[in-house]
Amino acid sequence: MKQWWLNPCRTPDAQAREQALARQQQLTKPAGSLGQLEALAVQMAALQGRLKPAAQQVWIAIFAGDHGVVAEGVSAYPQAVTGQMLHNFVSGGAAISVLARQLAAQLEVVDLGTIDPALNLPGVRHLNLGPGTANFAKAPAMTAAQGQQALAAGRDSVLRARAAGAELWIGGEMGIGNTTSASALACALLDCPVSHLAGPGTGLDAAGVSHKAVVIERALALHTAQRGDPLQTLYNLGGFEVAALVGAYLACAQEGIAVLVDGFICSVAALVAVRLNPGCRPWLLFGHRSAEPGHRHVLQALQAEPLLDLGLRLGEGSGAALAVPLLRLACDLHGKMATFAEAAVADRPA
């Protein structure tokens, strides 16, 4: 299969950036007084190639998959919860379902492979790549064929979003055990001690976190020979949903759609994407700083400054969705405030 994820990413529009910067200097406020909101609007202008950007048309994709490493006792929740939450997403009861309704965002749910291959829920795209990944403490999490299918599933979501006129793409994830997978991936990519990245996930106590760290250490030792290869590392340690997020982030950069990245797991997927194709980095905005302890290390590696810091650790794309109103307001302030000339307000002397 052609390695489409290595295709060139679009370059942000430098002229639109300069025009947006000039507009910011003309708005009826002291220069720089809206701080990060100004920079955000200018970045969106460059990504969308227009003076007045917008984030009204939002596409949210939730990717789900089970994890074989749960057999090692690394999660506080049973694996059946993954499939149960798929039903909750499409029936409107999950946090991201509520947020999507409030934002008038398009929400799609993609099941890449859970432990119940017979699962057939209306409103869910079931891809059945396998009954979850293999236990990566004993073998590679997925085959190259499964990994490429998962990457393509992310790309396909972005193509659907583009066809629907999306101005902003958000990915979320669901998969019991996926903080273990994300922590292992981040350790391998950052060459960082496991103790810095293994956290409580869905609610492990201190003993549970210590056990999770031991499992990750075993996995890293098993797959150490391929740690210099980000794609193979993704296949060895990742989840189907993490691989789909990687594919989606790269496709967004190739198609020219701005991304709002969610928390720890999504940020690890972003790290993999940047390692595979660094040209995608300008297209990634970061919604929030998670309470999961490893997130700050991943954000630092990506030189990312998140919009929110609310102690969140839910996943599902919820933190990124919560940041959408802030992004919309940044665009509205940039596009709808009067200039000094329009308001007949005296600017400060040059």
Going by C-beta distance under 8 Å and a sequence separation of 6 or more, which residues neighbour residue 187? 193, 194, 197, 216, 220
| Catalytic annotation, pick one of 38, 305, 316, 342 | 316
Q: Give the integer Cα–Cα distance in Å for 145 and 12.
A: 32
Find tokens 């859970």 and name the residue. 114
Clarify whether 316 is annotated catalytic: yes
CA gap 238, 231 in Å, rounded: 10
Q: How far is CA 12 from CA 49, 55, 261, 294, 310, in A?
A: 7, 16, 18, 30, 30
Half-sphere exposure of residue 321: CA atoms within 13 angstroms, side-chain side: 27
272 — phi, psi (to 5°)? -60, -45
Phi, psi of 120 (to 5 degrees): -145, 90
Write out the catalytic residue numbers: 316
